[in-house]
Amino acid sequence: MDWNDQLATSALWLLKTYVICCALLIPVSAGLIRGTVWGRQFWRLAGPYFNPRQHGWRALGAVALILFLTLCGVRLDVLFSSWSNDSYTALQKLDAHAFWVSMGVFSILAAVHVVRSLLNLFFSQWFTLHWRSWLNERLLNAWLADQAYYRSLHLAELADNPDQRIQQDITAFVETSLGLVMKTISAIVSIFAFTIMLWGLSGPLELVGVEVPHALVFLVYVYILIATVFAVKIGRPLVALNFLAEKYAADYRYALVRVREYAESIAFYAGEKVEATILNTRFGALIGNAWKIVFRSMKFQGFNLGVSQVGAVFAFIVQAPRFFSRQITLGDMIQATSACGSVQDNLSFFRQAYDDFAGYRTTLNRLSGFQTTIEAARALPRPPVKVQSEGIGMHTMEVRTPHAEVLVRDLSFSLEAGEALLVQGTSGAGKTTLLRAFAGLWPYCTGEVTLPAQGVLFLSQRPYLPLGTLREALCYPSPVREDGRVAQVLAEVQLAHLVPRLDETADWSRILSLGEQQRLAFGRVLWAMPAVVFLDEASSALDEGLEYAMYRLLRERLPACIVVSVGHRSSLLAHHTRRLEICGGGRWLLTPLATQIGADQA
């Protein structure tokens, strides 16, 4: 090879190949997106990222640059193959000058290869990190928007382990998408480049009395084609097995997390044997599926290894007669073997990548299912909310169970500033469900809800304490302010002993007792000073004395606040102006109360 003009020749080759790749990549991608399920899943997840109108040209520009660097790698492989011919031919001919010239060429090629590899690594990582950040933000925002993370619990089909889908599957999807696309392009271009090279290096071969020109080329293609057909047949079950592996692993991990979360309850019940049975059952499913993957992978990998080992000497066997008859040089034979190996490797890529693609399909199915769940959750109906400056109420409200059983029918009432409503009824009557309807969280209801535009706070029976400092837990979800009022609020709810630990970062839901957590939740009300507060069994863990103190504190500090409570205790009657009893069968009874609030105001 004449290396003097290779710079211009390589530049022209790159330009032509790049244009051809771009011209083919666009219609092929469009066809896959429209014609395959996994293509539509991909575009549904990633389409907006690659749309210049929505996300600019940065993503497409990065892909174009990575494509160019990938093609540069293919061209370098071709040049390295030609260099091997020159160097081995020089050795065979004992031509020292030609040998040292080939070493000089190698040093240049090696330097370019190192620079290209580093650039490809950097821009590939840059692209995947940006794409991953965008997709994480998109799915996370969609999951949190319109309470989809909660409303999805009311769907018939739930997306299991959304934490894994956001944290793990997004990373796998982004990295595998780029890797498969670029490796596929590299393989196809390499096949064409090395087939042309192999065509010139291979000679005729007589088979069953027929002389086949350029026999090595045809034999390589037939060999790999047959191997690929068998590989696809052997590896097909891996798609379903990999999907089940992710599911069983997530289920087992979730069961372990539940044991940690409910450790005290399990210990009180002495439920270790039951939990062990549950954990062993889920782990057994995980291991059973893992063994299926092992046996299937042994068949798949064993077949691939056998094909690869035969392929390693395939070109030597075919070319040996021509070499020993001195029709080709040692350099020609080495180059032919190298080219044959490249053709085999790149043809085998589609066979060997079947396992990767199976995992990729699994990731696509999980992310697509998660996105479908989010969209379905956000599409669930919710009662229309009428925003007004003050006061709350319900108008002709009907609340049902998911099975269409009516809990409350034609409920109408209104509450003004300073009033308090106690919702009571038998267990399962729908008290908490009514509060969910007020919050817009319950999809199985009709009617109209009236709420102020802001200043509404809901307290559940078990308060949510975010990870972080105690100060952040008290102020949640309001912004944290560094002032003395936080310490004052803690003291007012009888948690003054925690003031020195305000800025200590810990998992406070494990440190504080349920009674302390409920008092901390009352502190949130004092801190946020809402116009309306809903309390769902928010004092169930307090004794009657503490319960009285918390409600009395609430009325003293926030006299204009509207309070809606759900509770069973008769002691709660003294802190409310009206009582709503849910009687079952859609019936309800709303009565006024002569309360301590009225006595205090008098």
Quickly count: other Cβ atoms within 10 Å of residue 164's Cβ. Answer: 18
Contact status, residue 523 vs residue 476, Cβ threshold 8 Å: no
> pLDDT category, 388, cuts 50, 70, 90?
confident
The per-residue pLDDT for range 497-515, each reduced to its tens digit, is: 999 999 999 889 888 999 9
Looking at residue 167, the DSSP 8-state letter turns out to be I
Residue 478 confidence (pLDDT) above 90: no
More confident residue, 332 or 132: 132
- The domain 3-379 having CATH identifier 3.40.50.300: the answer here is no
Query: What φ, ψ does residue 331 adopt, rounded to 5°?
Result: -60, -40
Q: Mean pLDDT throughout 550-577?
A: 92
DSSP state of 350: H
| 519 vs 489: CA distance, rounded Å | 10
Of 430, 434, 394, the closest CA to residue 411 belongs to 394
pLDDT at 286 over 90: yes
Residue 304 to residues 190, 240, 300, 317: CA-CA distances in angstroms?
20, 20, 6, 20
Nearest to 484 by CA among 527, 519, 520: 527
For the stretch 304-356, pLDDT in tens is: 788 777 777 777 777 777 778 777 777 777 777 777 777 877 777 776 677 68
Q: Of 248, 232, 245, 358, whose CA–CA distance to 300 is shortest?
A: 232
User: Within 470-543, where are the H helices?
Assistant: 470-475, 485-492, 508-511, 514-528
Are 493 and 526 contacting, i.e. CB atoms less than 8 angstroms apart? yes
Distance CA 185, CA 232 (A): 20
Indicate whether 602 pLDDT > 50: no
Terminal-residue alpha carbon distance, the chain: 106
pLDDT(165) > 80 = no
Query: 271 versus 351: which is more confidently predicted?
Result: 271
Please tell me the class of the 385-601 domain. alpha beta
Determine phi and psi for 457, rounding to 5 degrees. -135, 135
- Domain extents in the chain: 3-379, 385-601
CA 80 to CA 330: how far, in whole Å?
Answer: 16
Structure tokens at 100: 């040292």
C-alpha torsion sign, points 336, 341, 346, 347 = positive
Number of H helices, E strands in the chain: 21, 14
With cut-offs at 50, 70 and 90, classify the pLDDT of residue 399. very high
Strands 505-506 and 385-387: unpaired
